[in-house]
Structure 1
Amino acid sequence: MKNLPDLEAWAIFARVAETGSFARAAELLGISKPTVSKAIARLEQRLGAMLLYRTTRKLSLTPTGESLRDRAIQLLVDAEIFESETSALALEPHGLVRLAAPASFGLRYLAPLLPAFLERYPSVDVDLALSDDLVDIVSAGIDIAIRIADLDDSSLRARRLCAVRRPVVASPAYLEQHGRPTHPRDFERYESLVYTNLHTPEYWRFRNTVSGDEYTVQLRARVRTNNAEVILPALIAGRGLAVQPEYLVWDALQRGELEHVMCDWKVADVDVNLITPPGILRTTRVTALINFLVEHLAHAPWAMSEPLSAELSDGSK
């Protein structure tokens, strides 16, 4: 069978590459650690190149291994999908799901959900990556990404979970000291706390909910940061105004630590989206996590509306 690819070795390499561990790969695959080691050696011999650097303390991919990692993982995913179409075994979700999300949202709303998800699906593992950077989910091997933004046209599949308001907020003490703004032009005399991971972070564009008038403000930033969570303590301490997504300030607003001001002027709402790679088929573990996130996030108290569709659709909307 020399002419046939060693699919077993490729599958084992995929698990080793994604877990970074012979022992963890063996556990996930239900085989022994020596079997994993022999399969990797067999594949390296067949390819005529090393795939992994091995030391007593660390396992890492060689440049060749790095270049083959995504293809091997995709090969394994495709095989699992094919089996899931025909095997009753796949009715029980199992395996690893890679999830990416903005840092603040992930810490506040995904981390608390993980225990319940792991209890419901004991055979599913989760790799959660938190970053406010825009990640290429295909090249990074991400199964599901949460994006809180307007989406560009794309071949990716997207599901809109809900919309989120972005109110202007400040502490009552700050407003008592400096007064409450009634028009965007008033911002010239206020200090602002600015989240920078936006197209134009130092400009806020407002629209009047009654007249439809629009007004753009250039901010005088006291604090600039690429993580919205950083802004919250300064806001509560009375160091300025900020536009914040309502999911981030919801609790502080309910406790009276922050106040929503200038309510007849608003910055455009933003959508919370679930993004997955292109393609129709997906494993049952990915579907299970998608449904779980919809169940727990689409009806959160800060969520403005129902999801548009029960299924992920091609394109950005």
Structure 2
Amino acid sequence: MDRLQQMTAFVRVVETGSFSAAARRIGVGQPAISKTIAQLEDRLQVRLLVRSTHGLSPTDAGIRFYERAKTAIQEADEAELEARGAGAGLSGRLRVCAATTFARLMIVPHLPAFMAEHPELEVDVVLDDRVIDLVSEGIDIALRMGELADSSAIARRITTGRRSVVATSAYLERHGVPKVPADLASHQALVYTQLGNSWTFRKDGTEASVVVSGRARFTAAEGIRAAVLAHMGLAVTSDWMFWPELQTGEVLRVLEEWALPPLDLWAVFPTGRLASAKARAFADFVQTIVL
């Protein structure tokens, strides 16, 4: 076997935990897999696998080699797809990660169109407001908003969205409409703990920062959305969070003459390997939705 075939055999052994299972997946006999791994270890002059009561497991060197080999195989597959011009006919599995509320409102309703365009593609949507490790979770593309915590991340800005102070029309009818940022002091603010309770506005070169207060704080955007719709108070959110209700007038923007810092939407790809054709196609698809 050539080098790439050896790497493929090793990766399959690690993933399946046995020579026989790896052989079935590749479509060769078990002796061929055993011989290939022995040749690979001999060429590298290092032990990659050890036997235990639970089967085969990689050594420390094997774990490091597995991660690099898996990336190399993925990139080789992508290179072949690119050469064949297969971007229009994507197949396999795509794992996408996005914040729960954003995905529910902006991505999932449009997902049937993307999957209809690529009928051989399966999509796993991981809903999580946290910044998770893309490599360990096997994520192909993550949609993230705001400043990226990791400056080394492989990322592409999809668009920049608007932030607004919003409330339901029913809440504003009962409590009045704030005219300037200082008026927020007399309102119940719904605080998203990731953003804090200091809201900064700009207008005509003037900056106004307001420390808001409220009886309810939330650790997830879904909680903010539910609280606003329950008429509990005002919140700072992206327009994406209340896109349906902003169209119907159930939720209204206030202080529209005062600008809040905009919100960047990023497509983030796993560090250490090229973005797959599937991931790039999905980023292009999302861009058509949110622009």
Short-chain TM bin: 0.7 to 0.9
The answer to whether the Cα contact below 8 Å between 1:185 and 1:217 also exists between their aligned partners in 2 is yes
Indicate whether 1:204 and 2:199 are aligned. Answer: yes
1:234 and 1:82, CA in 2 relative to 1: closer, same or farther beyond 3 A?
A: closer
Q: Whole-Å Cα distance in 1 between the matches of residues 283 and 216 of structure 2?
A: 36
Separation in structure 1 between the aligned mates of residue 182 and residue 266 of structure 2, nearest angstrom: 32
Shift of 1:141: 4.0
Q: Cα gap change, 1:36/1:49 in structure 2, threshold over 3 Å: closer, same or farther?
A: farther
TM-score (norm 1): 0.72
Contact residue 98 and residue 126 of structure 2 kept, 8 A: yes
CA distance in 2: counterparts of 1:36 and 1:109, whole angstroms? 45
Q: Are 1:283 and 2:276 counterparts?
A: yes
Give 1:153 shift: 7.3
Q: 5 Å matches for 1:38-53?
A: 38=30, 42=34, 47-49=48-50
Note if contact 1:132-1:197 (Cα within 8 Å) is conserved in structure 2: no
1:174-223 residue CA offsets vs partner (Å, 9 max, x unmatched): 2222221112112221111111223xx11111112xx3211111121322
The Cα offsets for residues 104-150 of structure 1, whole Å up to 9 and x where unpaired, read as 11122222233222222122222322211123435544322211113
Equivalent residues of 1:144, 1:275 under 8 A apart: yes
Q: CA deviation at 1:37?
A: 10
1:129-278 to 2 correspondences below 5 Å: 129-138=126-135, 140-151=137-148, 154-198=151-195, 201-208=196-203, 211-277=204-270
1:126–1:52 CA distance, 2 compared to 1 (3 A): farther
Tell me, yes or no, if the aligned pair for 2:7 and 2:69 is still in contact at 8 Å. Answer: no
Whether 1:10 and 2:10 are equivalent positions in the alignment is: yes
Aligned partner (choices 283, 287, 292) of residue 285 of structure 2: 292
| Identical amino acids, percent of aligned pairs | 34
C-alpha distance 53-181 of structure 1, shift in aligned 2 (>3 A):
farther
- Aligned mates of 1:145, 1:175 — CA distance in 2: 36
Identify unmatched segments of 5+ residues in structure 1. Answer: 55-60, 300-317
Counterpart residue type for residue 260 of structure 1: R
Aligned length: 279
Structure 1 SS opposite 2:282: helix
1:87 Cα deviation from its structure 2 partner: 4.3
- Separation of aligned partners in 2, 1:73 and 1:258: 48
In the alignment, the residues of structure 2 paired with residue 129 and residue 36 of structure 1 have an alpha-carbon distance, to the nearest angstrom, of 34
Larger Rg: 2
In structure 2, the residue corresponding to 1:239 is in which secondary structure?
Answer: coil
| Structure 2 contact 49–58 (Cα < 8 Å) conserved | no
Partner secondary structure for residue 266 of structure 1: coil
In the TM superposition, what are the counterparts of 1:103-142 in structure 2 within 5 Å?
Answer: 103-138=100-135, 140-142=137-139
Give the AA of the match of 2:264.
D
Q: 1:51 to 1:178 in 2, by over 3 A?
A: farther
CA distance in 2, matches of 1:158, 1:284: 15
Unaligned runs of 5+ in 2: 42-47
User: For the Cα contact (< 8 Å) 2:167–2:235, is it kept in 1?
Assistant: yes
Aligned equivalent of 2:45:
none
Amino acid aligned to 2:207: E
TM-score, normalised on structure 2?
0.77
1:220 counterpart letter in structure 2: S
Q: Could you tell me how far apart the structure 2 residues matched to 1:34 and 1:119 are?
A: 29
Distance 1:102 1:214 in 2: 30
Counterpart contact for 1:44–1:50, Cα < 8 Å: no
Separation (CA, whole Å) in 1 of partners of 2:143 and 2:91:
21
